[in-house]
Structure 1
Amino acid sequence: MLQIPDRIKPLRGFSHAIHIGLNVLLPILAYILVRIDFVLLAILLILLSKWRIFAVRPRYWPANIIASSIDIIVAVSLVLFMANTSSEWWQLFWVGLYGLWLLWLKPRSDVLSVSAQAMIGQLLGLSVLYLKFGDTSLAAIVAGTWGITYLAARHFFTSFEEAQVALLSHVWAYFSASLAFILGHWLLFYGTIAQIIVLLTTIGYGLAALYYLDSAERLSQNIKRQLLVIMCAIVVIVVALSDWSGSTI
């Protein structure tokens, strides 16, 4: 199994202060670039901020890319959300979330925090995929769904002693991509949220909760039954109340 190394970051002293300062500066610079319509430059800035991925021997690059993928997905998604609105207050809201991600959630490595990182990455990544690129080809949507859900699952399992990380990640990605292939013919939206995002979020978060509780030996039959009933109820409600009368593409 491919081992993902820990993120390299200074822990104290002057270097730590510089690290914090750069993390504060990055969302501000991204916001400024978005305001002057240099969105691609803002995304490039985010990618350049991940230079440490390649500051090691090439054989470590794939592992570093996987380890940083959720951070990149979240950052790029938030920049695109900034660019998708003309409201300065909404843009500042996304800037604040980006800063909170960089300064509080991203540096944390406990099980719940890593799980939250994976869930947020999947939610934001899928939201951008279907909101910004929902009118692209079905193959691109399926491939994008596969990639985002696979990387989110890989990130989720890194905090557990799981021997089948790649297999389980591909299973979740295959299920998600299959659902994208089926629902991609309709692409129903609730406002700006695609139906498939509601379904994958419900199922994914529910399965993640079951896995976490089971790994912590806190999963009783009663809790399992409750979670499964809630998941199934939400899925049934979403499917039953959807308007399926539209023509397929």
Structure 2
Amino acid sequence: MEFLKKTARRRSLLSNIAYYALNLGMVAVLFWMSQEIHYPLAAIVLVLLSKWRTLSVRPKFWLTNIQGSLVDVVVGLGVVALMYAPQATLVLRIALAVFYAIWLVAIKPLSKRWQMTLQAGLAVFIGTAALFAVSHEWPAAVVVLCALVIGYGTARHFLSTFREEQITVLSLAWGLVFAEIGWLAHYWTFGYALLGVNALQLPQVTIIFTLLSFVAERIYTSWHKHKTIVIAEVAGPAVLASALILTILLFFNSVTL
């Protein structure tokens, strides 16, 4: 019996080592590709292939697994898009590689409610930042569809922690909110230089998406906890988010991506 326990522990250790090695190796390859291969298709394929376990089940479970993996896919493709963005610098690519490594080995495996909420928030931020950093010449329909997928996937990821019965309807509704804002942002995109570096700009709409998602999370959490929306719990976040959004829309629209 003791021998079996030791064998199981050894296999678990080897499995963990392999998991970390494969993920960190993939990040290293993605970084190398962004430096040496100036066409992102190979990097996109690599990220998608790394999700092979999503389809390693019976076909009837594929849709469920794909929906459950959307946040991870959004982050992965977002990192690739930012690495290959025209304004990407070596420092930015290194920072993105480090972030993606941390995401894969430390953040992605987490499963508590607040941790999955954090995962969804990061996906909103990275996904929308990447989308509006590279989609200037894309057809509006493609941008709208991508925004819808980001909104749907992140909402579903968050709602899954509550075992929400109407998860598909609510996720789709939030996806439509993202799609509508994404359509507007496609024609009216502004960005703000980070750390004083003009090449490193954060899309204005990413801030808006993140703030709206934060308020929506507070509203839903309050409703789920009390079966009603407690104004005292949501007023602060709502007022703060509204003030910030109005401020950037009215006074900080001078820089265009």
Q: Is 2:68 the counterpart of 1:67?
A: yes
Matches within 5 A, 1:7-22: 12-22=12-22
**Cα 1:90/1:190, change in 2 over 3 Å:** closer
- Distance, in Å, in 2 between the alignment partners of 1:82 and 1:73 is 14
Matches within 5 A, 1:117-156: 117-156=119-158
Aligned pair count? 235
Q: Is 2:92 the counterpart of 1:90?
A: yes
Matches within 5 A, 1:203-218: 203-216=212-225
Structure 1: stretches of 5+ with no match in the other structure = 1-10
Cα deviation for residue 180 of structure 1 reads: 2.5
2:190 corresponds to: 188
- Distance, in Å, in 2 between the alignment partners of 1:41 and 1:231 is 39
1:41 corresponds to: 42
Question: Does the 8 Å CA contact 2:71/2:123 hold for their aligned counterparts?
Answer: yes
- Summarize deviations over 1:124-154 as a string: whole Å, max 9, x none: 1111111101232222222221121111111
- Distance, in Å, in 2 between the alignment partners of 1:134 and 1:193 is 14
Q: 2:113 pairs with 99, 111, 114, which one?
A: 111
SS of structure 2 residue aligned to 1:184: helix
1:232 corresponds to: 242
Structure 2: stretches of 5+ with no match in the other structure = 1-10, 194-200
Q: 1:197 pairs with 187, 206, 212, which one?
A: 206
Superposition RMSD on alpha carbons, in Å? 2.4
Question: Does the 8 Å CA contact 1:134/1:141 hold for their aligned counterparts?
Answer: no
Identity across matched positions, percent: 24
- Distance, in Å, in 2 between the alignment partners of 1:240 and 1:132 is 25
Cα deviation for residue 188 of structure 1 reads: 3.0
SS of structure 1 residue aligned to 2:69: helix
Matches within 5 A, 1:156-175: 156-175=158-177
Cα deviation for residue 214 of structure 1 reads: 4.4
Question: Does the 8 Å CA contact 2:33/2:43 hold for their aligned counterparts?
Answer: yes
SS of structure 2 residue aligned to 1:193: strand
**Cα 1:78/1:243, change in 2 over 3 Å:** closer
2:4 corresponds to: none
SS of structure 1 residue aligned to 2:187: coil
Cα deviation for residue 121 of structure 1 reads: 1.0
2:32 corresponds to: 32
